[in-house]
Amino acid sequence: MRTPIIIDCDPGHDDAIAILLALAHPERLDIRGITTVGGNQILERITDNALKVLSFVDADIPVAKGAAGPLLGKLVTGAEAHGESGMDGPALPASRFKPVEQGAVEFMLELLRASEEKITLVPLAPLTNIALLITAYPEVKEKIKEISLMGGGLAYGNVTRTAEFNIYVDPEAARIVFDSGIPIVMSGLDVTDKAAIFQEEIDELKTRGPVSVLVGELLDFYSIYGRKMGYVGNALHDPCAVAWLLQPELFRSERLHVTVETEGKLTRGMTVADRRKKPEQPANAEVLLDVDREAFMQLLFTALERLDREQLLRQAPAGGS
């Protein structure tokens, strides 16, 4: 059975890998559309990156541009990790595709209203677009099956000691989403740092087909920042939110009530979970805490191998001797 999804993203190296992971499983995931939001870089650059990735694998999926910045304040980008383009490293050709004319909120609204089945949202970025959607059109919450998001962390942050990047960029939006009543699966740093790919695996990707090589080159650049921050492996954050939809058995999780701190001087953007024996409110999120790393890598490598084969078939000359 195919799960209809909308991916909300800010490519971003790991966003691109998450999109490729989803594209490799058309029998499982029906990607109805992709929306973009200012985050890892400014909106124009990350939208162009999304279109380039889709063009590279010849996936004609509609892309809608969303919010350029957070609900309040100015955009903080992830340029230190993702570079000036937001996806530095490989030199991808210009995209053959263009974004749709609709903005992200109107685009998602139309998809949700038109769908006969509930749609899963997969945000891999600041939650601005999702918050704007459910605030302006609260009735569409009934059309959302769940939200499988990458963001947050119970134990620590990465932008600050308490806040993970996607939540830190727009904590007000994140607060709206977590308090929305929509079922949430949270892939935070507690699990995504454990979904790490190591240099020998990156090197192996670069010996394979064109899509695997692209991912290897993306990770070569992305690893630079990880090493600077003291990591040995390179955490594949965003792919976790897609992998959970494909193989939830790879993960260990705990149902918790999570909300977002928006005011604290030291804790703004922190995802705060109630882990007491008798929490004040019922759980609103399935929080992923651990992953079978080897099985996760097998899922990724198999997906890229499938995309490699498809890419090579497209590139093969017609006919033959």
Judge whether 257 counts as a catalytic residue.
no
Active-site position among 13, 25, 82, 237: 237
Sign, CA torsion 233/80/301/293: positive
Token pair recorded at residue 136: 């302006």
Left, alpha or beta for 266 (phi > 0: left; psi -120 to 50: alpha)? alpha
Alpha carbon of residue 296 to chain centroid = 16
Q: How far apart are CA 283 and CA 211, in angstroms?
A: 39
Q: How far apart are CA 139 and CA 73, in angstroms?
A: 28
H or E segment to which residue 149 belongs: strand 144-150
Do residues 155 and 247 lie in contact, with contact meaning Cβ atoms separated by under 8 Å? no
Do residues 12 and 124 lie in contact, with contact meaning Cβ atoms separated by under 8 Å? yes
Q: What are phi and psi of 29, to 5 degrees?
A: -120, 125
Q: How far apart are CA 67 and CA 60, in angstroms?
A: 22
Q: Calculate the dihedral angle through the C-alpha atoms of 153, 155, 161, 162, rounding to the nearest 10 degrees.
A: 50
Do residues 149 and 128 lie in contact, with contact meaning Cβ atoms separated by under 8 Å? no
Do residues 257 and 274 lie in contact, with contact meaning Cβ atoms separated by under 8 Å? yes
Q: How far apart are CA 146 and CA 125, in angstroms?
A: 16
Do residues 86 and 41 lie in contact, with contact meaning Cβ atoms separated by under 8 Å? yes
Which residues are identified as catalytic?
237
